[in-house]
A and B are shown apart, each in its own frame.
Chain A
Amino acid sequence: MATLITESNHPAPDDFYERLIATHRGLSDAESALVNAKLILLLANHIGDAEVLAQAMSAAREGIGGSKVAGAV
């Protein structure tokens, strides 16, 4: 079973972060939200592994909004 990588996996972490922020430059909040959604879909397809994706979704949701992720099917 594959496991979500949570140690750093970026060859150049600062470059990645700068690029992520730059991707949103000049966009409204709504436009940024759409870019983020597309980015998630592209990356999720690249990863493809349902188990890894489920772990990432749980980790992202951790501590936010109280309840656990509903209907995890």
Chain B
Amino acid sequence: MKTYVNPVYPYTRPAELDRPGVRRPVIIVGAGPVGLAAAIDLGQRGVPVLVVDDDHTVSVGSRAICYAKRALEILDRLGCGQQVVDKGIGWNVGKVFFKDELVYGFDLLPEPGHRRPAFVNLQQYWFEQYLVERAQALPNVELRWDNRVVGVSPGPDKVDVTVATGDGHYTIACDWLIAADGSRSAVRRLLGVEWEGQVFHDRFLIADIHMTSDFPTERWFWFDPPFHPNQSTLLHRQADDVWRIDFQLGWDADPEEEKKPERILPRLRAMLGESADFEIEWASVYTFACRRMQHFRHGRVLFAGDAAHVVSPFGARGANSGIQDADNLVWKLDLVLGGRAPEALLDTYDFERTRAADENILNSTRATDFITPKSNVSRMFRDAVLALAKDHPFARKLVNSGRLSVPAVLHDSPLNTRDHDADFASGPGAMMPGAPAADAPVTGPAGEWLLDYVGGGFVLLAFDAAIANRHVAVLAAADIPCRIIEVSGAESAGPTRIDDIKGLAARRYDARPGTVYLLRPDQHVCARWRTFDLAGVRAAIARATCNI
């Protein structure tokens, strides 16, 4: 590749090869986006963490490319969101073509007043490199390269992990093992756990090309284009003038043949024109599946990301959901490790994230059925939708080239406290218990966005609620502390105060003077009230941590 050279992270001989090592609180298998996000989050919380990876570099070639707003907000909390946004390519507009005609366009441009855009495109290797650099900067995160897990022995109170290196094997124990080792998870295989789902009978060619072009920064999707008849094509712009093109090939395509430049170049020439000036950076042929493990928690082994669930790529629901897995898991694991919550809290990771995986699988499966119809009649309806879409607006809603990743709303989580006040807004986009916190521009001591002030621990967002200093002190000093952020309230010596400068926070949270929201450490709403009540807040924190 011309635009990127994979770093080589050095292997160092693990001390455990020579003498027994100490038991670790957490070992993470896999230094991909999900394992690294979990490691950084644990490290930031002061939990020592060991990450083992069977390679010595970041992702090779073209893999994940689209990072959604929610994943970027999580990265902000982990200290690397800005790098990803600065390097990546933001986009909001998508266009769908049928044959040679534009049939449908969409604009994901969120309403103003959010720090992060709907999507940023960035090659996975850059993304991982920033996470590695962040992890390396944390003193309690240890990354071990070329350390391959070959044995996992789960016990009632620990997990023994056997690791192979070039210098031999060693065994190390941990309290908890996070398996973030991808769709071919060694940990899953070693535990003999099956997963179920659907493999799609189709093949896609990925071509990353380096091209200087004034082509718009938009997601373009073609059904049956003249340059690639009977198949679909997807075009995305990435960083460094690298463009990603996915060509649908059909099930009968020969993956080895299709990867050869003499096969790829005519396809690209037909698409981009004879005069286009480009170089191929990367090419591979992939198939895909939608499936998940029945449970993401197996005793002391916790599965996250592609190791636990995989989806077809249309909708950018792979890496984005894996990062939400890490976000959901780590604060719970931290509380359990600290003895401040029972292990049952980790079952809620399974509960919440298997539901999120089901939502992603449902959306990805539907998109795949539209893009890759499995029968003649399915194809017929697909083409009928596309034929109608140009002139009949209703049909555009049926065109499915991927329903793009949106954050999971944990509606039915047992960690939520149900609304007592009936007059709160509900429905899509409302800050109901389970929803991820909406952002808004603010002014205050620690940043210009609302999300700068929430997350990490429990936070009570208090809209002009004038909470007494003694209550602030009680919540701050609790076993599971809760910070109070006063939004647009009167000056006081107690809580941190921020100003809702455009009134957007109050609008997005359907807030009146006195309204308070309890937010979990992963920034999801878990309770809300029209008036502050100390006992109610404490009970909601107890509920959200399985301490009742």
Q: Is the CB of A20 closer than 8 A to any CB of chain B?
A: no
CB <8 Å contact, A42 and B380: no
A45: nearest chain-B partner, CB-CB: B394
Q: Given the complex, which residues of B lie within 8 Å of A45, measured CB to CB?
A: 392, 394-395
Tell whether A37 pairs with B398 under 8 Å between CB atoms, given A42-B388, A42-B392.
Answer: no
CB-defined A-B contacts under 8 Å, sample of 6 = A34-B384, A34-B387, A37-B380, A40-B384, A41-B388, A45-B392
B366: nearest chain-A partner, CB-CB: A73
CB <8 Å contact, B395 and A34: no
From A40, A41, A42, residue with most partner B Cβ within 10 Å: A41
Q: How far is it, in angstroms, between the C-alpha of A42 and the C-alpha of B394 when the chains are bound?
A: 9
Q: Given the complex, which residues of B lie within 8 Å of A34, measured CB to CB?
A: 380, 383-384, 387
User: Would you list the 3 A-B pairs with minimal beta carbon distance, nearest first?
Assistant: A37-B384, A45-B394, A38-B384
Q: How far is it, in angstroms, between the C-alpha of A37 and the C-alpha of B379 when the chains are bound?
A: 10
Q: How far is it, in angstroms, between the C-alpha of A40 and the C-alpha of B385 when the chains are bound?
A: 10
Q: Is the CB of A54 closer than 8 A to any CB of chain B?
A: no
B contacts, CB < 8 Å to A: 377, 380-381, 383-385, 387-388, 392, 394-395, 398
CB <8 Å contact, A33 and B385: no
Q: How far is it, in angstroms, between the C-alpha of A38 and the C-alpha of B398 when the chains are bound?
A: 12
Q: How far is it, in angstroms, between the C-alpha of A16 and the C-alpha of B384 when the chains are bound?
A: 22
A38: nearest chain-B partner, CB-CB: B384
Q: Given the complex, which residues of B lie within 8 Å of A42, measured CB to CB?
A: 388, 392
Q: Given the complex, which residues of A lie within 8 Å of B388, measured CB to CB?
A: 38, 41-42
Q: Given the complex, which residues of A lie within 8 Å of B383, measured CB to CB?
A: 34, 37
How far does the Cβ of B138 sit from chain A's closest Cβ, in whole Å? 44
CB <8 Å contact, A41 and B380: no
Q: How far is it, in angstroms, between the C-alpha of A55 and the C-alpha of B380 when the chains are bound?
A: 22
Q: How far is it, in angstroms, between the C-alpha of A30 and the C-alpha of B64 when the chains are bound?
A: 39
B392: nearest chain-A partner, CB-CB: A42
Q: How far is it, in angstroms, between the C-alpha of A33 and the C-alpha of B382 when the chains are bound?
A: 12
Q: Given the complex, which residues of B lie within 8 Å of A41, measured CB to CB?
A: 381, 384-385, 388, 395, 398
CB <8 Å contact, A38 and B394: no
How far does the Cβ of B103 sit from chain A's closest Cβ, in whole Å? 14
CB <8 Å contact, B394 and A37: no
Given contacts A41-B384, A41-B385, 12 further A-B contacts (CB under 8 A): A34-B380, A34-B383, A34-B384, A37-B381, A38-B384, A38-B387, A40-B384, A41-B381, A41-B388, A41-B398, A42-B388, A45-B395
Q: How far is it, in angstroms, between the C-alpha of A37 and the C-alpha of B381 when the chains are bound?
A: 6
How far does the Cβ of A66 sit from chain B's closest Cβ, in whole Å? 16
Produce 1/0 per residue, A21-63, CB < 8 A to B: 0000000000001100110111001000000000000000000
How far does the Cβ of A34 sit from chain B's closest Cβ, in whole Å? 6
Q: How far is it, in angstroms, between the C-alpha of A37 and the C-alpha of B383 when the chains are bound?
A: 9
Q: Given the complex, which residues of B lie within 8 Å of A38, measured CB to CB?
A: 384, 387-388
CB <8 Å contact, A33 and B380: yes
Q: How far is it, in angstroms, between the C-alpha of A34 and the C-alpha of B380 when the chains are bound?
A: 6
Q: Given the complex, which residues of A lie within 8 Å of B384, measured CB to CB?
A: 34, 37-38, 40-41
Q: How far is it, in angstroms, between the C-alpha of A33 and the C-alpha of B376 when the chains are bound?
A: 10
How far does the Cβ of A47 sit from chain B's closest Cβ, in whole Å? 12
Q: How far is it, in angstroms, between the C-alpha of A48 and the C-alpha of B388 when the chains are bound?
A: 17
How far does the Cβ of B363 sit from chain A's closest Cβ, in whole Å? 12
Q: How far is it, in angstroms, between the C-alpha of A8 and the C-alpha of B385 when the chains are bound?
A: 29
Q: Given the complex, which residues of A lie within 8 Å of B385, measured CB to CB?
A: 41
How far does the Cβ of B473 sit from chain A's closest Cβ, in whole Å? 50
Q: Given the complex, which residues of A lie within 8 Å of B392, measured CB to CB?
A: 42, 45
Q: Given the complex, which residues of A lie within 8 Å of B398, measured CB to CB?
A: 41
Q: How far is it, in angstroms, between the C-alpha of A37 and the C-alpha of B394 when the chains are bound?
A: 15
B376: nearest chain-A partner, CB-CB: A33
Q: How far is it, in angstroms, between the C-alpha of A38 and the C-alpha of B395 when the chains are bound?
A: 10
Q: How far is it, in angstroms, between the C-alpha of A38 and the C-alpha of B388 when the chains are bound?
A: 7
Q: How far is it, in angstroms, between the C-alpha of A41 and the C-alpha of B392 when the chains are bound?
A: 11
Q: Given the complex, which residues of A lie within 8 Å of B394, measured CB to CB?
A: 45
Q: Given the complex, which residues of A lie within 8 Å of B377, measured CB to CB?
A: 33, 37
How far does the Cβ of A67 sit from chain B's closest Cβ, in whole Å? 15
Q: How far is it, in angstroms, between the C-alpha of A40 and the C-alpha of B395 when the chains are bound?
A: 12
Q: How far is it, in angstroms, between the C-alpha of A34 and the C-alpha of B385 when the chains are bound?
A: 10
Q: Given the complex, which residues of A lie within 8 Å of B387, measured CB to CB?
A: 34, 38
How far does the Cβ of B217 sit from chain A's closest Cβ, in whole Å? 32
A46: nearest chain-B partner, CB-CB: B394
Q: How far is it, in angstroms, between the C-alpha of A38 and the C-alpha of B383 when the chains are bound?
A: 9
Q: How far is it, in angstroms, between the C-alpha of A45 and the C-alpha of B381 when the chains are bound?
A: 14
Q: Given the complex, which residues of B lie within 8 Å of A40, measured CB to CB?
A: 381, 384
B381: nearest chain-A partner, CB-CB: A37
Q: How far is it, in angstroms, between the C-alpha of A34 and the C-alpha of B387 when the chains are bound?
A: 9
From A34, A37, A42, A45, residue with most partner B Cβ within 10 Å: A37
Q: How far is it, in angstroms, between the C-alpha of A38 and the C-alpha of B387 when the chains are bound?
A: 8
Q: Given the complex, which residues of A lie within 8 Å of B395, measured CB to CB?
A: 41, 45
Q: How far is it, in angstroms, between the C-alpha of A34 and the C-alpha of B386 when the chains are bound?
A: 11
